[in-house]
Each structure stands twice: as structure tokens, then as C-alpha cells.
């Protein structure tokens, strides 16, 4: 079985239509889990998100992105659904820190999608003013990861 984009989109529709919060499917060495966004229970709890390949881009903008208008500078957004990592390994220094000057093309993080590590580079030069995602946190397509001023 191959998990193509059309198949994943059908699974996402099933989650929405059936008011489910999660679907997990395994077939041999392939596995996929889709989770629906839920409102956070408290300021400490993080809402789960869809864990699917980069090709799925049908999810609407998350309400957490609304405050983007209050920030100055350019937003670096996630090009895919996955898990945000601020460093190349758990014991390594983060790629970037708040206050750090970067140039266009600087690696700023990794997004893991379907066990593939995707290095994300900045499209802007400037200073990192805010990192909006915690290490190991799930992210959605288009979610703001950090701001560069």
C-alpha cells in the first residue's frame, strides 16, 4: 500500500466527517497517524496536529497564527506538516537563537515528516526576534516557526 496524497486527504476528511480526533493505519513497514487539532486545555498543554507527509497541504490556517499581525518582521513558516526540531540532535546546540543575526539560506530548524528530516532555511536576512515553536512540537503547513526582523 502506498500512502499517496489523495488517500491521506480522504483520511483527513473521514476524521472531520466522523468527528474523530485520530486515525492510525499500519501496512507492513509503512504507518501513518492523522490527528485533528484540538483546543489547548491549558497554556502548558500543546494541541496535537496532523502527522502526515509534506504533500498534504489541505489543512486550514490554525487560530494560533492570528497574532502574526502584531509581530514585526518576516515570518518563517513551516513548508509541511511534521515535528519541529531546533537542533540537529538532542544534545546539539540549536541552529538559531533569539537575537541571533542570520543571512538568507541559514539553516534555522528541521521539520521531521514521515521519518524524513527536512532542513529549513531562512528566506530572509536579519535578526531572529521570536521562535514561536517549542522543540519537538508538532507543526502544521504554513504555521509560523519564527520571525526575522
Q: Which domains does the chain have, with CATH numbers?
A: 66-148 (2.40.50.100)
pLDDT of residue 1: 52
Residues of the chain with pLDDT under 50: 41-68
**What DSSP element (H or E) covers 108?**
strand 107-113
pLDDT of residue 2: 63
C-alpha torsion sign, points 102, 106, 107, 108: positive
The whole model's pTM is what? 0.53
Calculate the CA 149 to chain-centre distance: 21
The Cβ of residue 29 has, within 10 Å, a number of other Cβ atoms equal to 5
Amino acid at each position: 500500500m502506498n500512502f499517496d496524497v489523495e488517500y491521506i486527504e480522504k483520511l483527513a476528511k473521514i476524521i472531520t466527517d466522523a468527528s474523530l480526533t485520530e486515525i492510525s493505519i499500519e501496512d507492513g513497514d509503512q504507518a501513518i497517524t492523522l490527528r485533528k487539532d484540538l483546543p489547548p486545555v491549558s497554556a502548558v498543554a500543546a494541541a496535537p496536529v496532523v502527522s502526515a507527509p509534506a504533500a498534504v497541504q489541505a489543512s486550514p490556517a490554525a487560530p494560533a497564527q492570528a497574532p502574526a499581525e502584531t509581530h514585526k518582521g518576516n515570518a518563517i513558516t513551516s513548508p509541511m506538516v511534521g515535528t519541529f526540531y531546533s537542533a540537529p540532535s538532542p544534545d546539539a546546540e540549536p541552529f538559531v537563537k533569539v537575537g541571533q543575526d542570520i543571512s538568507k539560506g541559514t539553516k534555522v530548524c528541521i521539520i521531521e515528516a514521515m521519518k524524513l528530516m527536512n532542513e529549513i532555511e531562512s528566506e530572509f536576512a536579519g535578526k531572529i526576534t521570536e521562535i514561536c515553536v517549542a522543540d519537538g512540537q508538532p507543526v502544521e503547513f504554513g504555521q509560523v516557526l519564527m520571525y526575522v526582523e
